Amino acid sequence: MSALLDQLRQLDWRLDFDQGALSRGLDYARQDRVRLLSLGETTVESSCEGSAGKRYTQLIRLAPRGLGVVGRCSCPVSYNCKHCVATLTYLLSLPEDALPAASPAPMEVRQVDDIMPTPHLTLGSHAQSQYDLRSGRMVGSQQHRAGLTFDYAGLQTHGKTTKPERLKHRINGERIAIARQSKVEQQLRDNLRQLGFKESLRQSQALPANSGEMFELPSDEHWLDFMRHRLPALREAGWQIEIRPGFQFDLSQVEGWYAEVDETPSHDWFDLELGIVVEGRRISLLPVLLRLIQRNPELLDPNHLQKHKDDEQLRLQLDALRESDGRPLQVMLPFARLKPLLATLGELYLRDQEPSQAIRLGRPDAARLSLLESLDLQWQGGEQLRQFAARLRDSNTTPIRPPAGLKAELRHYQQEGLAWLQTLREVEAGGILGDDMGLGKTLQTLAHLLTEKEAGRLERPALVVMPTSLIPNWQDEAARFAPSLSVLALHGPGRKKLFDQLAEHDLLLTTYAILPRDLEQLKALPLHVLILDEAQYIKNPNSKAAQAVRQLEARQRLCLTGTPLENHLGELWSLFHFLMPGWLGDSKHFNHNYRIPIEKHGDSARLSHLTARIKPFLLRRSKESVATELPAKTEITQWVELSDRQRDLYETVRLAMDTKVRDEIGRKGLARSQIIILEALLKLRQVCCDTRLIEEPGARTRGSSSGKLDSLLEMLQELLDEGRRVLLFSQFTSMLALIEAELHKRGIDYVRIAGDTRDRRNPVKRFQSGEVPLFLISLKAGGTGLNLTAADTVIHYDPWWNPAVERQATDRAYRIGQEKPVFVYRMISRGTVEEKIQQLQAQKAALAQGVLDGRGQEDWRLQEDDIEALLAPLPRLN
């Protein structure tokens, strides 16, 4: 028996090894990986199969004076490693008769000088967290390293040498001493440096400390470039590459992209799965993308996505394992593909639960499938839905011949509108024709109905619901542009006699006020098309008119309005609740998913998603973009000063209402104090117009009752002397009465329309013919349905919250047919609530622009600091 064995049995040699080496070495011994090469009195030589099938050689000897054992190994660890543990464990397990004979003398060592080193590169990553002093939070980061060693016939080494060095090794029982090739090793290091690597001076747990010489790259982008373009070349040049588990850039190739569509039997919904093919397997991207979006919601913002170049890559770890080694699959996806994918899948962000392989979408959302056509997907199913998407995508570019019976020449954008309406009919969808006032929404709709009649599809009547004031306009335009349509107006007390004739006409006209009364008769009448003109009338979904129109049966539903959104997103939801019930969810879910995030928190991702969803079903053109033949429009703020009498009354009312509003907010909160707030603002606005609007009749007062009225009369005299033709709007009919009285005193002729005006045609005719130069109009009664292109000047006497309402009023003059430049004056009392309202108007306009045009991201909200500003004292006079 050798002294080595005798002492091993007496010594606790395990104390010379760490726990990891002991555990792994014991497993290697059980797996019969050890081969004994020689056994001496104080030494043993062996070889052991390590990981990845590579064999390493060991030389183990007793330490002097009974201090344990010293094991040397050709593996990267080199000292008292798991391979040495395996050797000792295996040796002590052998019976006496199986031990190799002790070697009486060391074998002769042969020197070898011509073995060239094979470079061995080990790649690894380490995730770590550290405290960030600036943010006060723990911040995660990744470290990545490349460890370089040199393999000499199975013996690995690393580190620079200052003098010639030989590596002791045994091959096939022969002892050899291999000369290190320092110049070759240096060239291999230089090769790494040429690829952008630099020696790492910082410690990292990305690789074990004995993994060789440590190198790193400056950024993730450099690592990705190395893995995609440089690493394959190294492999071809003979480099050995070892990738450790968890290395962040261990990527698999994407072999293809696919989309699978499964329609439900009702055709109301469809399930969409989108994924990639990796290692021959189809893997859905939806769960991975959901987690990515939840961590980075800005990925749904088109403006943010556009900052990423198309060739920029995003690394994703998939919910699947590699078959070769069981590691998670990782892939790189270019943003050129991710952009349309994320634009289509904004629905993911709105789901509270994690999706499975597919996501369920409403049929109208199939319009977004056209965004995926550029991805070169392998499609399975969904042919009809894809055709639906393609028709909507191409609707504005597909030429269509206007109906033969149309007595008008359609402009290019009106032909596009007709094509869009026809496409909606083909795909059995509703929509909002949201063109600016004056671009001919009525004409486009009549062309659509006439096309349906000439094609033989108008065997059921079409019904248009509108404000009462628009009945004459529809009758006139139908007679003028589509005389072959038989039109019946359900208006006035004699309409009930016409109920038995409804099915005999092509076009029925009724009003929002009358429809609820005639609902039982109209519910029983199947319609071809149901059209809401000035559809903002159903912006309150609980109004009688809104509830009534939703009960009518029609093949197609359309909304006409230049202001799909006036005050808040709930109004837009009400229109789509009529057009496509349930598509945007119920009111509660819509508020949760869109209104609160957008209006309260300015969530640009939700705004982008909503805009993308409604875009195929909302055709909106501004006059500036399509009606290039229109003359210029100049908008002017006419600042006026309050009279002394107004200032005194303004401060008196403001102080009283400020106390009342504060008390109400203190008791009920801001949301439940709207009535008192509006009452306060109304009184202050009336004071700005004229003190007589709130003063007691017969009260003894001194001085001018209105600096604004004085300024208006001076303006009017000057404008009329210049030959200008003027529209004057006010929200208050009582203010119009005061203006009329002043006009009578000065002998200025005018016409007027307000809520009590029954004959609207005659005032319009007198003004348009040039008989009178001034038209007084109440904002509510005359803001829609009038064509007053004879005007070249518009004056808004008092501002209101909604800029869309003011714009509609302006559009009575600034519309198709206008040939002269139009000047728009807004009279604002300086320092008053009117000036604050003008500032809030800009915020509300931003909300509408963001949703309808997709260009803005601002939100509109009325907070307590807004109330403070609205009820602020007048500035002191200098």
CA 360 – CA 171 distance, rounded (Å): 65
Residue 351 contacts residue 278 (beta carbons within 8 Å): no
**What per-residue confidence (pLDDT) applies to 869?**
74
Instruction: Find, among 497, 504, 500, 506, the residue nearest to 529 by Cα.
Output: 506
Lookup result for tokens 């994924």 = 275
Lookup result for tokens 């309808």 = 852
Q: Residue 21 corresponds to which tokens in the numbers above?
A: 């080496």
Burial-class residue 490 by CB neighbours within 10 Å (0-12, 13-18, 19+). Answer: buried
Select the CATH number that applies to the domain covering 634-870 from these four: 3.40.1280.10, 2.30.130.30, 3.40.50.300, 3.20.20.100. Answer: 3.40.50.300
**What per-residue confidence (pLDDT) applies to 856?**
42
Q: What is the residue type of 494?
A: G
Q: What is the residue type of 840?
A: L
**What are the mean pLDDT values of the chain's consecutive 10-residue runs (878 residues total)?**
75 84 90 86 86 81 76 83 92 80 62 91 85 70 90 86 80 80 93 94 83 90 87 92 85 84 74 84 85 77 76 80 76 82 68 67 76 78 78 72 90 89 87 82 94 94 88 85 93 85 93 92 93 89 90 93 76 88 83 80 77 84 68 78 89 88 82 80 90 80 85 87 87 92 93 82 88 89 73 87 75 73 86 81 60 44 66 72
Q: Residue 429 corresponds to which tokens in the numbers above?
A: 């969808």
Show me where the domains of the chain are located: 3-106, 118-243, 256-392, 429-626, 634-870
**What per-residue confidence (pLDDT) applies to 848?**
53
**What per-residue confidence (pLDDT) applies to 438?**
66
Residue 392 contacts residue 423 (beta carbons within 8 Å): yes
**What per-residue confidence (pLDDT) applies to 443?**
92
Residue 793 contacts residue 765 (beta carbons within 8 Å): no
**What per-residue confidence (pLDDT) applies to 570?**
82
Cα angle 171, 176, 178 (rounded to 5 degrees) comes to 110
**What per-residue confidence (pLDDT) applies to 512?**
92
Q: What is the residue type of 261?
A: V
**What per-residue confidence (pLDDT) applies to 266?**
63
Select the CATH number that applies to the domain covering 429-626 from these four: 1.20.59.10, 3.30.70.3460, 3.40.640.10, 3.40.50.10810. Answer: 3.40.50.10810
DSSP-based three-state secondary structure for 343:
helix
Cα angle 839, 845, 850 (rounded to 5 degrees) comes to 135
Instruction: Find, among 522, 509, 531, the residue nearest to 578 by Cα.
Output: 531
CA 218 – CA 195 distance, rounded (Å): 11
CA 48 – CA 35 distance, rounded (Å): 6
- Say whether 634-870 and 429-626 share the same fold: yes
Q: From residue 354, how far is each of 288, 347, 744, 861 by CA, in Å?
A: 10, 12, 72, 32
DSSP-derived secondary structure for 766-827 = HHHTTS-SEEEEEHHHHSSS---TT--EEEESS--S-HHHHHHHHTTTSSTT--S-EEEEEE
pTM higher than the cut 0.75: no
Q: What does DSSP assign to residue 372? A: G
DSSP-derived secondary structure for 462-486 = EEEEE-GGGHHHHHHHHHHH-TTS-
Lookup result for tokens 């390590």 = 50
Residue 725 contacts residue 791 (beta carbons within 8 Å): yes
**What per-residue confidence (pLDDT) applies to 262?**
83
